[in-house]
Structure 1
Amino acid sequence: MTGCFITFEGGEGAGKSTQIERLRRRLEALSQSVVVTREPGGSPDAERIRAFILEGRAKALGPFAEALLFAAARIDHIDNVIVPALRRGTHVLCDRFADSTRAYQGALGNLDGALIDSLERITLKGVKPDLTFILDLPAEVGLGRAGRRRGEGEGADRFEGEDLSFHQALRQAYLAIARAFPERCVVIHADRPAEEVEDIIWNALSERLPRLTQHAARPLDVA
């Protein structure tokens, strides 16, 4: 039996890392094997691409070039981390995945939807999340959290540094993804205490776990 692939999406400061760690602890308490990873990154080569992107060095190349860089990192991440873990029966909890490209470079970079679809087919090779939690909160709240997390004197990364209107549009892009894929996406209102968000996520996962287990038991269609 393969593991379940669960992704967390949302704007800056939504609390994805916090909730992934809390879910990891809960699953491991039930003797479940879990791998925590992130995008861009997650594998050595993908982490190098992550640094290049988040330092803003790819911004001048435009959204299509950024999407290609994300795709290159994702291919390495899938091949070397995600698929091997799933085949071992390990659950994968990932901080961002393909929905981030669809939101950031697709909706906000104005890349054609058909282009994003084609890029996903080439990149994902049939690997898709069993469940996606979209952590939703007002953009100004998330940016405030992100700023406090960085601390004084530390600059914002490539995406955190965009203006408020960008992040407000990003929020709407994620909500549109949730509406387009309701069978996979669960919107979690993240503007509340972390413990409460954790419980809501756990309850949602518990309701869907039988379906996810049945789905994940099918062989992976990966070359």
Structure 2
Amino acid sequence: MFSSVHLVLGAFLALVSLSASAQSGPPVAPPAGLSAGADADASRRLLGIWAAEPVFGPSVQGELTVFREGALWRASIGGFEVPGRLEKSTLTVTLPGGQGTFRGKVGADGKLVRGSLQFTRRESNQAVGLYARVPMPGPYVYRAPVAEPDGWTTASLKDVGMDPAPISALMQRLLDLDAEEGPTAKPLVQGVLVARRGKLVVEESFHGFDKERLHDLRSASKTLAPVLVGTAIEQGAKLTP
């Protein structure tokens, strides 16, 4: 016997395709005899920090196919094939690389009717991206950027005649926002870079970002691209449409 169900895994590794019956069916009533106290306990278990991170170019992406061959269940995605484990009516498939676990309910007819991708609970000192930096750091200490073969010459603030005190105060303010206003306080600054006299003198990242991680610029690139092209033309670059 062979049957399969196709689910779409988007750029954020979210399983969003459910069966039509699962989407359009009537609301599921709570179990009979569920007391108000038990309901409150269940609600309290949902309190906390739950993490889901958008990743540019996930290593596992594409269409997730869950199929059955006799009593065996398997799933394939992005060139990987992993086994599934069926316990009673719950099918569990762990995605490659620890990128998530799919759990689905299997109906009496052997068809997958409902599924979800499980998230992981995090403590505050593990919530990278939610806070400016984790674990919560002590007082900010300025350090000159590390020299790398990326075309930038680095130097310290004092090397280029800048006072480190205002820069340190700004960085400390960004770190203090979490303690004063809670996570995701505004402004949400992902990085601060300062260049003076052709040298990079400040390079600080926040909320899980670093120099290797891409930023989602959206429409900001519409402004930046013409400025860069105009500057290049002004400096003598021979560019044509």
Same fold (TM over 0.5): no
TM-score (norm 2): 0.20
Larger Rg: 2
TM-score (norm 1): 0.22
- Higher relative contact order at CA 8 Å, sep ≥6: structure 1 or structure 2? 1
Tell me which protein shows more helix as a share of its residues.
1
Tell me which protein shows more strand as a share of its residues.
2
